[in-house]
């Protein structure tokens, strides 16, 4: 570098910020590489070391040079190794995405790049038009897969709830895959109940899962919207659960919903919720933005707001547990006063 180049560099506006941004963008490029290489089947193919021509015959790209260019990015990031003409997986992230137990982490990357990325790209026009994104359509399976990252933390809370509430009969609202019904019956072998979800295809999946786990005889499954429930879920129940779906209800509808749940409970009955809370944390602020950009979703509650709404609805707050270290992900247990 000669003297003139050094002078040009010193005169470059925001030189330090450019350095910071280049550093940030390395992480951005890595996440995008992982997304593209996973979706294109490249990571799965590279579980076995392959030459470029072997990769081309396996993945059949229309433009082999584009694949080679993607591989070069992977090599530069340290995600892909290139040794003796063969490419293989090197980085721990790329290996994890295609490991036998890596599906949730792959879905996490897919969710950020496809769903969150779209939210940020469209945000300026949304602020002008007020039109939200139709993201619930078609992302159900992706969200179900990525939520499994939190499964073991919620499972601990489900077991605590069962110990505290000793339920014989429960209602789960928005049951999704049914995974927490499985944990509930494992913790309480005689437990029975009803599980509802407003999406018919979700209930079909719940049914298959419960059959696979051998607990389908414990729960009656219904396609139902809790805001307009059929008469046969009138209760009474010892426990009602609402895991990872408070943000499907507008803030003003939460107290009326909690009062409806209260009416379904037996005296001394319990109401358990799990949700990410709004607060001073980047993940929480990001998720709140994603929700508020999505048709049919609403703001995250703060812990104070949620517990105040529970009290207003006639519950005492018996437990509020931070489920994931450093994250504002909470389990809250209300008891009928």
Ligand X SMILES: C[S@@+](CC[C@H](N)C(=O)[O-])C[C@H]1O[C@@H](n2cnc3c(N)ncnc32)[C@H](O)[C@@H]1O
Give the residues lining the site for ligand X (CB under 6 A): 143, 147, 173-177, 179, 196-199, 202, 225-227, 243-245, 248
Residue from 89, 147, 152 nearest 115 by CA: 147
Question: In this complex, which beta carbon is closest to ligand X, that of residue 94 or of residue 313?
Answer: 313
CB of 42 to ligand X, least distance (A): 30
Name residue 80's beta-bridge partners: 89
As given in the structure block, the two tokens for residue 206 are 């719940």
Q: Which is nearer to ligand X, 67 or 210 (CB)?
A: 210
Comparing CB distances to ligand X, the nearer of 188 and 294 is 294
Question: Is the bond preceding 236 in cis, omega lying within 30 degrees of 0?
Answer: yes
Characterize the bridge pairing of strands 169-173 and 237-243: parallel
Compute CA distances 45 → 54, 88, 109, 145, 203, whole Å: 10, 9, 18, 21, 34
How far is 280 from 109, CA to CA, in rounded Å? 23
Adjacent-strand bridge partners of 316: 335
Measured from the CB atom, the residue of 243 and 329 that comes closer to ligand X is 243
C-alpha 277, offset from chain centre = 14
Quote the least distance from Cβ 157 to ligand X, whole Å. 11
Q: Which is nearer to ligand X, 136 or 164 (CB)?
A: 136
Question: Nearer to ligand X by C-beta: 159 or 199?
Answer: 199
Element of type H or E holding 286: helix 282-292
Q: In the bound complex, what is the minimum distance in angstroms from residue 188's beta carbon to ligand X?
A: 18
Which of 267, 251, 229 is closest to 312 using CA atoms?
251
Minimum distance between the CB of residue 325 and ligand X, rounded to whole angstroms?
A: 19
């Amino acid at each position: 570098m000669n003297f003139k180049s050094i002078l040009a560099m010193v005169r470059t506006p925001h030189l330090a910020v450019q350095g910071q941004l280049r550093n940030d963008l390395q992480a951005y490029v890595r996440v995008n590489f992982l997304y593209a290489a996973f979706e294109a089947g490249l990571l799965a193919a590279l579980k076995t070391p392959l030459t470029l021509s072997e990769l081309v015959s396996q993945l059949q790209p229309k433009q082999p040079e584009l694949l080679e260019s993607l591989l070069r990015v992977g090599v530069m990031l340290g995600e892909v190794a290139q040794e003796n003409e063969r490419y293989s997986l090197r980085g721990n992230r790329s290996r994890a995405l295609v490991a036998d137990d890596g599906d949730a982490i792959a879905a996490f990357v897919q969710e950020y790049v496809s769903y969150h990325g779209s939210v940020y790209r469209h945000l300026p026009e949304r602020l002008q038009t007020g039109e939200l994104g139709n993201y619930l359509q078609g992302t159900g399976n992706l969200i179900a897969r990525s939520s499994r990252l939190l499964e073991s933390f919620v499972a601990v809370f489900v077991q605590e709830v069962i110990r505290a509430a000793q339920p014989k009969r429960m209602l789960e609202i928005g049951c999704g895959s049914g995974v927490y019904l499985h944990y509930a019956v494992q913790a309480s072998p005689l437990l029975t109940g009803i599980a509802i979800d407003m999406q018919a295809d979700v209930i079909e999946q719940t049914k298959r899962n419960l059959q696979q786990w051998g607990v389908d005889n414990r729960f009656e499954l219904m396609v139902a919207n809790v805001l307009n429930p059929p008469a046969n879920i009138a209760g009474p129940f010892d426990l009602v659960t609402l895991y990872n779906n408070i943000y499907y209800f507008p803030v003003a509808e939460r107290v009326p919903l909690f009062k409806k749940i209260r009416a379904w409970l037996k005296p001394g009955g319990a109401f358990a919720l799990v949700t990410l809370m709004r607060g001073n944390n980047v993940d929480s602020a990001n998720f709140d933005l994603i929700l508020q950009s999505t048709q049919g979703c609403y703001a995250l509650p703060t812990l104070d707001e949620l517990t105040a709404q529970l009290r207003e609805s006639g519950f005492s707050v018996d437990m509020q547990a931070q489920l994931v270290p450093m994250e504002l992900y909470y389990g809250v247990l209300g008891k009928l006063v």
